[in-house]
A and B are shown apart, each in its own frame.
Chain A
Amino acid sequence: MDISAAIDSLHPLEIKVLMTLGTCQAGTALDSEQLATAAELEPSQLSMAVEWLLAKSLITVQTETVTPIVSLTKVGEEYYRTASPIERVFASAREATGTGKRLTIPDLQSQEGLDPSDVSKAVGRLKKEGVILIIQGGCIETTGRQSPTVEALRTLLGEIHDSSKELKSFTEANRQVIEDFAVKRGNAKEPFRVDDRVTRSFILSSDGASAAGQLLKQGVAEEVSQVTPDLLKDGSWRQKRFRKYTISLRPPRIGTGKKHPYREFLDTVKAKLVSMGFQEMRGALVETEFWDMDALFMPQFHPARDIHDVYFVKEPSHTTAVDEPFLSRVAEVHENGAETGSTGWGYSFDVHRAKRLVLRSQGTAVSARTLAASPNIPGKYFSIARCFRYDQVDATHATDFFQVEGIVLGEDINFRTLLGLLNLFAREVAQAKEVKFLPAYFPFTEPSVEMHVRHPRLGWMELGGAGLFRSEVTLPLGVTVPVIAWGLGLDRMAMVALGIHDIRELFTDNLELIRTTRGLF
């Protein structure tokens, strides 16, 4: 054993015990009581230190003595306060004899409310002592003698009630009584309990002796728990001993500053998009139907524009004006296609309806505004926009959610470059190598594509939808180059990354959950 290392890891209590033993003559054994006194330790501190030292084999057990100790049970305490069954039986019998009343065993049971087993045990013992007689008709009479058992029991209950005593401190006769009335297996209802107290004495092992010797020789540096500025200032840390900690324990918990896990996920998406050359767009939570839908060539009778699909704003319900020339151009395109090469929807466009204010229902509204604001060509744009849908809220539907979407403008934009861009998204955003493109339908794009990817953890999933903006969308807003419109459905990926199964938990109010969730991105 490396004695110095052993010494370093000693707890102050262990040092006290080792040094106490070390100062005695070599080979001296001390029992717990003696050690506690000599080392000035509480019994609990001593027993801890002794167990640690035994585990480290620095001390060994020299002797082990077993001492029977008598104490009162709960039943015994009760008998001490009132009277034991044998006392009560004897008293009743004496009273009956004195008054000449007949007293039978059933009488005893009913009068005193005693257990039949207690009564028969008491009667048996008293009869054996010749203190009572059973006469004709099963009646009990006293003989006038005193009962040694009753007297001994009363004395013993009184003595042991204060504190437990060693069994051997009692006379032979009393020891017998104690044994007769002690708790045994199968009979817990007795006043006395006899337990074995084990007393051990300890000596130093050879390692322990070396350690103690070394400790005594080098003296014990004063032990401190912390490095303090004072210790550093005057250099006195050199004389101190710094207690070693049990570093394998779990540390106490602390609160931390941390980003929201869902936001962190969106941040990674945002960073990816910027790295791919996308510029961020922002938009308003409240939009006109014009920018939210009309500009996207969604006819005013489109089912998704129903009162049951979009939230309308109460006050003011309409905007004062929609920017021209966009309003007139879009109205004409809806009606007859204007100069876009389209037939239009062939209905009468309602300008008032276009001015209706709604809570933004799709992120594409932000793209529509960007198209009308002289965007860069070539240009790539994205937004992570909060949108609102008139949906019943449940595990898969939120009424308030983020949409990640955007546009790409350029002379080289066509159906194949659209697929190329989606491939890039699949690889960069979903780490997917396999991609499937399915024909899809969106009111504002033609051709339209739905992209399914094989996610490394989720398997095949829909990652998003995209298409080339219809000329009915781009031309009235003043854009003459082809434009890709794309949107990514990332909530399912986010939910898996965050280990949740209910979309509502993305915006949970459970702080504990937010604090403990760590994303796997």
Chain B
Amino acid sequence: MPTITIFQDDLESLLTGHHKVGPGITMAQLEEWLMLVKGELKGHNSETGELRIELQDSNRPDLWCCEGIARQIRIKQQGRLKPYPFFAKNQKSPHHLIVKPGMEQVRPYVAACTAKGYRVTEKGLAQLIQTQEKMADIFGRKRKTVSIGIYQLRSITFPVTYELVKPDEVRFTPLGMEAAMTLSEMLMVHPKGLEYGPILAVKHLLPILRDAKGQPLSFPPIINSREIGEVRVGDEELFVEVTGTDLPMVVLSLNIFAVNLADRGATIEPVEIQYPTSTMLGKRVTTPQDFGKLKTIRIKAIERALGQELGETVVKQALEAYGYDVSAEKGSVKAKLPPYRHDLMHTMDVVEDVAVSRGYAEFTPVMPAQFTVGSLSEIEQVSDRSRELMVGLGFQEIISNILGSPDHYSRFMRLDGTEWGRTVDVDNIMSLSFSCLRQWMLPSLLRIEAASSRAFYPHRLFEAGDVAIPDRTHELGSRTETVLGALIAHATTHFSEIHSCLDVLLYYLGKEYSLEPIQHPSFLEGRAGRIVVSGKPLGVIGEVHPEVLERWQIAMPVVAFDVNLSQLAMVGESVSSLP
């Protein structure tokens, strides 16, 4: 979901067609229009006319720029897309780009075109760079699948070759540097080399674009040459190339650049790419190229999904006003995406475009009428009942993070290296404070107690919630279970006070239990018990060990219990007073 910065006057002039000053648009109008592109206005500076817009659709890179937003709105206003001449079949291209053998092991594909007659302005250049960056970063997965280079056309002699060279064979001055260096030096020294170098799996042969005179254009996907590959304000002739690992994505990215420049007034001339072997688009591929396919869609399918009768004409109009090339037949439409889109996977994608084009407000909401019975899961019911009882016993409910630190969940509890101390740990740790899942509830309660010595006493706290208990026998390596923990803290608290609470709780939950003495490092020896129901251990109760309190920096006696509600719900006959 990229967020881009565009300028209001630029948008206005692109809306009316290039070189014209458009009428001022209001923000309310703009927000309305942004629905067509799934855009949200995030910021507006009325002095500079700067607009910050977030685009939601990660499959529509054509919309991540001012030209694309304007285009989608313009098509809606004009009812259909005016075809771009350079996508016509059988284009003769004056320029060639030769792909040498061996590229398939490194970065197989390239697409290119030239653009003449658009004089680059300051704002235009900023937009060009922004589009280049967003496309390569998000759509091109940080330049891995797609990267883009833009050059001054007049310095280039065709044909351009795309080939592999040895790391120290070629030297040129990269953008952002003062001196010429070899490709291997760029990988080691240049910031872009350090950032994107890891993309190149093969290190002994590196890709390069050179012109007929042997001048390097760039070292894709790392960096352009400073001599040819630096576009400046005032330039009127550009050469654009896209390299990458996925041919449709590479061609699509070039198509987007071509229509963007054309929308700004440039004349686009295709470049013929000559591959050594055939690709899915042939051996000689002229780019930009409209490689979209017609898809036949039944009107019934659209109507069923949208819940509304529309008919062929309405569907055709809606799709055309969204940029599709459409022909209607009886009961169906044949639709093709515009050449700057390649996101049609399923009929439902077309269905959504019909709805977006017409506007969601055109569809009257209807209540789903089928009858269903609502209910809570069994464990949620047990949990809710326990919570009611704990509140009745005078306990304050707590909610805590489940993701926490091993210090809190194990070390402070004196459980290091014990079975009780095992937790589900995070592999890609960002912060130790959020690096494992809680395996029991007591630490969550002690966290509150440690922070609340000034809150008036007594403290009676409880939490019912999920924990993750490591379990090798489980397919997920752990079991998520619902646990109830309770704690009492005040100057004269003792075992029997918390024992009474557990006794009441389990009585009303209808479970007969017994306590068995247990040696548990978190509790004082001789004052700790295992809670057993029907022979199954379901939790612990006791006076919290003074050393545990010391580690938490708690200066008040604490007694507590921790009982596993998930397992409690499954075991033992519930005791009922009814016959």
Query: Are the CB atoms of B365 and A419 closer together than 8 Å?
Result: yes
Nearest chain A CB to B79 CB, angstrom units: 19
Nearest chain B CB to A326 CB, angstrom units: 13
A283–B468 CA distance with the chains assembled, in angstroms = 12
Query: Are the CB atoms of A399 and B403 closer together than 8 Å?
Result: yes
**Interface-central residue, A262, A344, A359, A410, by most chain B CB under 10 Å:** A359
Query: Are the CB atoms of A414 and B306 closer together than 8 Å?
Result: yes
Per-residue contact bits, chain B 318-354, to A (CB 8 Å; 1 contact, 0 not): 0000000000000000000000000011111101100
Q: Is B141 an interface residue (CB 8 A)?
A: yes
Residues of the A chain whose Cβ atoms lie less than 8 Å from the Cβ of B346: 337, 340-343, 446, 470-472
Q: Is A162 an interface residue (CB 8 A)?
A: no
A448–B360 CA distance with the chains assembled, in angstroms = 10
Query: Are the CB atoms of A260 and B397 closer together than 8 Å?
Result: yes
Q: Is A104 an interface residue (CB 8 A)?
A: no
Residues of the B chain whose Cβ atoms lie less than 8 Å from the Cβ of A413: 368
Q: Is B58 an interface residue (CB 8 A)?
A: yes
Chain B minimum-CB-distance residue to A301: B141
Per-residue contact bits, chain A 278-299, to B (CB 8 Å; 1 contact, 0 not): 1111111111100000000000
A314–B423 CA distance with the chains assembled, in angstroms = 10
A275–B375 CA distance with the chains assembled, in angstroms = 8
Q: Is B212 an interface residue (CB 8 A)?
A: no
For chains A and B in complex, what number of residue pairs have CB atoms within 8 angstroms?
272
Q: Which of B375, B395, B396, B480 contacts A279 (CB 8 A)?
A: B375
Q: Is A317 an interface residue (CB 8 A)?
A: yes
Nearest chain B CB to A468 CB, angstrom units: 7
Q: Which of B371, B374, B475 contacts A273 (CB 8 A)?
A: B374
Q: Is A258 an interface residue (CB 8 A)?
A: yes
Per-residue contact bits, chain B 360-403, to A (CB 8 Å; 1 contact, 0 not): 11011111111111111101100010010011111111111111
Query: Are the CB atoms of B391 and A311 closer together than 8 Å?
Result: no
A253–B370 CA distance with the chains assembled, in angstroms = 51
- Assuming the contacts A277-B373, A416-B365, A512-B452, asked whether A447 and B426 have C-beta atoms less than 8 A apart, the reply is no
Q: Is B527 an interface residue (CB 8 A)?
A: no
Chain A minimum-CB-distance residue to B381: A280
Chain B interface, number of residues (Cβ within 8 angstroms): 92
Chain A minimum-CB-distance residue to B450: A509
Q: Is B45 an interface residue (CB 8 A)?
A: no
Q: Is A80 an interface residue (CB 8 A)?
A: no
Chain A minimum-CB-distance residue to B373: A277
Query: Are the CB atoms of B372 and A379 closer together than 8 Å?
Result: yes
Query: Are the CB atoms of A262 and B370 closer together than 8 Å?
Result: no
Residues of the B chain whose Cβ atoms lie less than 8 Å from the Cβ of A314: 425-427
Restricting to A134-169, which residues have a CB under 8 Å from any CB of B? none
Residues of the A chain whose Cβ atoms lie less than 8 Å from the Cβ of B367: 417, 420-421, 423-424
Q: Which of A321, A446, A510 contacts B451 (CB 8 A)?
A: A510
Chain B minimum-CB-distance residue to A381: B372
Interface segment, A108-116, A212-220, A436-444? A436-444
A182–B231 CA distance with the chains assembled, in angstroms = 97
Query: Are the CB atoms of B477 and A423 closer together than 8 Å?
Result: no
Query: Are the CB atoms of A400 and B345 closer together than 8 Å?
Result: no
Q: Is B461 an interface residue (CB 8 A)?
A: yes
A259–B389 CA distance with the chains assembled, in angstroms = 11
Query: Are the CB atoms of B366 and A260 closer together than 8 Å?
Result: no
**Interface-central residue, B356, B368, B377, by most chain A CB under 10 Å:** B368
Q: Is B28 an interface residue (CB 8 A)?
A: no
Q: Is A246 an interface residue (CB 8 A)?
A: no
Per-residue contact bits, chain A 245-275, to B (CB 8 Å; 1 contact, 0 not): 0000000010111111011000100100111
A287–B476 CA distance with the chains assembled, in angstroms = 7
Restricting to B1-52, which residues have a CB under 8 Å from any CB of A? 1, 35-36, 38
Residues of the B chain whose Cβ atoms lie less than 8 Å from the Cβ of A393: 434
Chain B minimum-CB-distance residue to A344: B345
Query: Are the CB atoms of A507 and B397 closer together than 8 Å?
Result: no
- Assuming the contacts A258-B397, A285-B468, A423-B365, asked whether A276 and B390 have C-beta atoms less than 8 A apart, the reply is no
Q: Is A206 an interface residue (CB 8 A)?
A: no
Q: Is A98 an interface residue (CB 8 A)?
A: no
Q: Is B530 an interface residue (CB 8 A)?
A: no
Residues of the B chain whose Cβ atoms lie less than 8 Å from the Cβ of A388: 402-403
Per-residue contact bits, chain A 293-328, to B (CB 8 Å; 1 contact, 0 not): 000000001110001000111111101110000000
Residues of the A chain whose Cβ atoms lie less than 8 Å from the Cβ of B57: 441
- Assuming the contacts A357-B476, A421-B367, asked whether A280 and B306 have C-beta atoms less than 8 A apart, the reply is no
Chain B minimum-CB-distance residue to A435: B365
Query: Are the CB atoms of B345 and A342 closer together than 8 Å?
Result: yes
**Interface-central residue, B390, B401, B437, by most chain A CB under 10 Å:** B401
Residues of the A chain whose Cβ atoms lie less than 8 Å from the Cβ of B307: 414-417
Restricting to A376-423, which residues have a CB under 8 Å from any CB of B? 376, 378-380, 386, 388, 390, 392-393, 399-400, 408, 410-417, 419-423
10 pairs across A/B with beta carbons < 8 Å? A255-B394, A259-B391, A260-B397, A281-B377, A286-B468, A343-B346, A439-B355, A507-B399, A512-B454, A514-B398
Other A-B pairs beyond A285-B480, A412-B368, 9, CB < 8 Å: A253-B456, A285-B402, A313-B424, A337-B345, A378-B368, A386-B402, A400-B434, A413-B368, A511-B459
Residues of B within 8 A of A (CB): 1, 35-36, 38, 56-59, 138, 141, 304-308, 344-349, 351-352, 355-356, 360-361, 363-377, 379-380, 384, 387, 390-403, 424-428, 430, 434, 437, 447-452, 454-461, 465-466, 468, 472, 475-480
